[in-house]
Amino acid sequence: MPLFPSMRALSATFTHTPVDNTQKRQEPAPQRRSIEHLYQSWDVAEDAQKKASQLSAAATQEFSKASNAAQKQVGQIELYSGKYYATCTFGGLMACGLTHWGVTPLDLVKCRRQVDSKLYKGNLDGWRTIIRQEGFSGVYTGGSPTFFGYSVQGALKYGCYEFFKKFYSDLAGEENATKYKTSIYLAGSASAEFFADIGLCPFEAVKVRMQTTMPPFAKGTWDGMSKIIAAEGVGGLYKGITPLWGRQIPYTMMKFASFETIVEMIYHRLPGQKSDYSKAAQTGVAFTGGYLAGILCAIISHPADVMVSKLNANRAPGEAFGAATSRIYKEIGFGGLWSGLPIRIVMIGTLTGLQWMIYDSFKIFMGLPTTGGGGQKAEEKK
């Protein structure tokens, strides 16, 4: 049923003037044109609504066709099988690489302001300055190592999380896994991030140096890696691994545990069960849960994020980690550890929401249940 009556119906109802045999009254022409224009606008809105519905239905149909074709080619994916973990790994790669690359302009200004808080007056001033001095492409400085690094990190993080969540649940037993599910989420995500950061660290080292040196010290990812290795050896690519673990492990623990908890709370407060809702609605819940979880992630990991940027930019060759950390903290103080937090909240909230939405959308595409909201046993029954 259309939201508005058609132009014909409205025109017949309101613009038809009754005929008086003794005196014919005619509405002024400009007013009639105004009313008719209003009815035409309503008809345009009605047509647009119909076309949007048709496009949505067509897109859903095409998605279903592609999904069925992919599932037919891959074959049935059993939960917690090798094929299942490979699927989750690929979903994580898709979720993280593109989303992190997309927010490179935000990350660039954030990193430069963390290293030198007086460099720009604000984020808009930073972007204007960069575009004026380096051109529009300058705001994507560090985009290449960001894309490759976070693709690797996302693949390992999501794939390993699914593995370790199942592994620790089995170790705990069915009753304890349900009773201590939050601890399972925390342990699984911490274990996953430990390995994910080993893959991320070389790319992060190049990214930070490209973003915090002007002009950038390297033209791209591989050029940057070769320059670091030539100057400092392979170890130069991993000199930020400890602060990276310090930033990313608490971040990921918060990201996964709070996401699972928030999604469960959302479904608990909605009428019915998770299975009663469409796949589109479930991905909407995934985005909402991810965004809220991202805000918490940004806050808990921000001091370590600042320290990672400082260490990669200012740590002298051969300087011990503890000595470098102590020196930097004396320079910036406690307040300096929170530089750039507001923009990071926006960046990480959006990132995390989009990542969970993309990840769960890919799981749906491959015929798998979405993450969270029903517990492990509920997923196994699907």
Q: Is residue 40 part of a domain?
A: no
Range of the domain at 250: 79-381
The residue assigned the tokens 């290293």 is 115
Q: Is residue 24 part of a domain?
A: no
pTM for the model: 0.75
Q: Is residue 362 part of a domain?
A: yes
Q: Is residue 354 part of a domain?
A: yes
Q: Is residue 369 part of a domain?
A: yes
Q: Is residue 8 part of a domain?
A: no
Going by the DSSP 8-state scheme, the letter that residue 116 receives in this structure is -
Q: Is residue 147 part of a domain?
A: yes
C-alpha span between 349 and 294 (Å, rounded) = 4
Which residues, in sequence order, are CB contacts of 253 under 8 Å at separation 6+?
A: 185, 186, 189, 190, 193
Q: Each residue's pLDDT tens digit in the chain (382 positions)? A: 454 455 555 455 555 455 455 444 555 555 555 555 655 655 666 666 676 666 667 767 777 888 888 888 888 899 999 999 999 999 999 999 999 999 899 888 878 877 777 788 887 898 999 999 989 989 999 999 999 999 999 999 999 999 999 999 999 999 999 999 999 999 999 999 999 999 999 999 999 899 888 788 888 999 999 999 999 999 999 988 998 898 889 889 999 999 999 999 999 998 888 888 888 899 999 999 999 999 988 888 788 878 877 776 677 777 887 888 888 888 888 888 888 788 788 888 888 999 999 999 999 999 999 998 764 444 554 4
Going by the DSSP 8-state scheme, the letter that residue 376 receives in this structure is H
C-alpha span between 204 and 59 (Å, rounded) = 37
What string of DSSP letters covers 51-63? HHHHHHHHHHHHH
Query: CATH code at 256?
Result: 1.50.40.10
The residue assigned the tokens 């673990």 is 245
Q: Provide the domain count of the chain.
A: 1
Q: Is residue 25 part of a domain?
A: no
